[in-house]
Amino acid sequence: MGLSEYNRKRNFKVTREPSGEAPAPPRQEGEGLRHFVIQKHAASRLHYDFRLELEGVLKSWSVPKGPSLDTRVKRLAMHVEDHPLAYAEFEGIIPKGEYGGGTVLLWDRGTWEPVGDPHQSYAAGNLKFILKGEKLQGGFALVKLRGRGAHSGKDQERAWLLIKERDSHVVPEETSDVTEARPESVATGRTLDDIAADRSRVWHSNRAQVDAGGAPGARPGPVPAVLRPPRFAARATPPRGGGWLHEMAIAGERLLARSDAGTAQLLDEDGKPLTAAAVRKRGAIADAVRMLPAQTLVVDGMLAAMTPAGHSDDRALPGALAGKLGATLAYFVFDLVHLDGFDLTRVPLDRRKALLAELVRASAEPGALRYLDHIAGDGVAFQHEARRLGIAAMVSRRADSSYGARAGWVRIPCAVSATG
């Protein structure tokens, strides 16, 4: 089958899943046996992905009810696309709405020995083998169905049966069902619920790519090691004329987020990493950034506490960070500094914001993330409307401005006038 179907379903400029060219996980010294892995996958329906290393890939079957140690139980196993060897290491989350979306748990792993020639047996649809795993031991067989009964038709070529062979490792199902008796991960000891609650490992699969490479001024480069966020200069009156973008000023804390291969880092207004204790209080923000469909990115924004009425209140931020009721955290992102291997600091602001808006829209689970929209045009008109709505302040940025110390961004008060 090869990896063509696996690759076709995934965009590797976006996904964190290993491509067909990804290196295989290192073997232990002296190890020459083939590997197997079984991944418990809570997708649209719970199933177990049974994978055997053969012909340089992981031959894969989806087993809805999971394996059994009872010889009388024949489990349906639907043959699916081959996966790269590096996939055997994955445990984590694929966001909802993407191919294979759900939680993945490493249920069992080890080595397998074929009985006879595995290539001929696989081609003939009668593959027998011995598993040496942490949960499964002994002889098994994968037998291809030949188009009889309910699985004829379009699924005829994919339907197999997974069967336990008679040996000393047989356990009658009425005595013990191995999938119920051993639900935990062999890698971490966690349950599916534990993994679902942890956003530290997330793979994106078929989200449409947000292409930053075509933006004017975009330059190939790594995620910047040092960030120097532009400052907002105080100004009494709004800028006049065209060429400006105006945003509502969010009351809260300036916060930058950097994500690289699933690891999110939060930084303060000076570009310095937050302490571990501060990051724990802002964990929902890091989770939301990880869920954005990008391999690498840097965003700039404001962390705010939102009242039940939908307003940001900086006085409520300490309580929201402490988990107290009455306010929820929201992260309003207003700039995109880096995306998938491209430095965007010299890209005009209006293009950066267009890419940012597209990125946030493509997120399967935005969580606390919000895109801070803007109005283009004359600042006086924006200030008048802001006053009418009771907005305390506005920020204005040139539509063609870069991201750096000389960006020329300004913050203007919008005190409500006496005449309204």
Tell me the per-residue pLDDT of 38-51, one tens digit each, with 9 for 90 and over. Answer: 999 998 889 999 99
What is the spatial distance between Cα 16 and Cα 202, in angstroms, rounded to a whole number?
Answer: 7
Residue 401 belongs to some domain of the structure: yes
Q: Mention every residue, 6+ apart, whose C-beta is less than 8 A from residue 419.
A: none
Whether residue 373 sits in one domain with residue 229? yes
258: which strand partners?
265, 298
Residue 201 belongs to some domain of the structure: no
Backbone angles phi and psi of 369, in degrees to 5: -80, 135
What is the spatial distance between Cα 102 and Cα 91, in angstroms, rounded to a whole number?
Answer: 11
- At 65, is the secondary structure helix, strand, or coil? coil
Whether residue 232 sits in one domain with residue 151? no
Residue 50 belongs to some domain of the structure: yes
Q: For residue range 181-232, what is the model confidence (pLDDT) as tens digits? A: 999 999 999 999 988 877 666 665 544 468 888 899 999 998 888 888 999 9
What is the spatial distance between Cα 126 and Cα 417, in angstroms, rounded to a whole number?
Answer: 82
Residue 297 belongs to some domain of the structure: yes
Instruction: Assign residue 307 the CATH number of its domain.
Output: 3.30.470.30
Q: What pLDDT, on a 0 to 100 scale, did the predictor assign at position 151?
A: 47
Residue 81 belongs to some domain of the structure: yes
What is the spatial distance between Cα 288 and Cα 202, in angstroms, rounded to a whole number?
Answer: 11
Q: What pLDDT, on a 0 to 100 scale, did the predictor assign at position 97?
A: 61
Whether residue 378 sits in one domain with residue 284? yes
Instruction: Tell me which residue of 359, 331, 332 sits closest to 344, measured CA to CA.
Output: 359
Domain span including residue 362: 219-413
What is the spatial distance between Cα 299 and Cα 284, in angstroms, rounded to a whole number?
Answer: 15
- At 50, is the secondary structure helix, strand, or coil? strand
Final residue in a domain of this structure, among 126, 161, 196 = 196
338 conformational bin, left if phi > 0, alpha if psi -120 to 50, beta if neither:
beta
Whether residue 116 sits in one domain with residue 31? yes
Whether residue 185 sits in one domain with residue 267? no
Residue 73 belongs to some domain of the structure: yes
Whether residue 155 sits in one domain with residue 299? no
User: For residue 12, which amino acid is it?
Assistant: F
Whether residue 142 sits in one domain with residue 90? yes
User: For residue 4, which amino acid is it?
Assistant: S
Q: What pLDDT, on a 0 to 100 scale, did the predictor assign at position 272?
A: 95
Instruction: Tell me which residue of 162, 158, 139 sits closest to 147, measured CA to CA.
Output: 158
Residue 49 belongs to some domain of the structure: yes
Final residue in a domain of this structure, among 196, 211, 234 = 196
Q: Which two tokens stand for residue 16?
A: 């964190």
Whether residue 127 sits in one domain with residue 88? yes
Q: What pLDDT, on a 0 to 100 scale, did the predictor assign at position 15?
A: 43
What is the spatial distance between Cα 79 and Cα 59, in angstroms, rounded to a whole number?
Answer: 8
Whether residue 232 sits in one domain with residue 109? no
Final residue in a domain of this structure, among 149, 164, 196 = 196
Place of tokens 């996958």: 41
* Total structural domains within the chain: 2
Residue 389 belongs to some domain of the structure: yes
Q: Which two tokens stand for residue 211?
A: 């292409």
Whether residue 225 sits in one domain with residue 158? no
Q: What pLDDT, on a 0 to 100 scale, did the predictor assign at position 148?
A: 52
Whether residue 233 sits in one domain with residue 185? no
Whether residue 268 sits in one domain with residue 134? no
Which segments of the chain have a pLDDT < 50?
11-17, 22-23, 26-31, 149-152, 206-208, 417-420
- Say whether pTM exceeds 0.75: no
What is the spatial distance between Cα 346 and Cα 359, in angstroms, rounded to a whole number?
Answer: 19
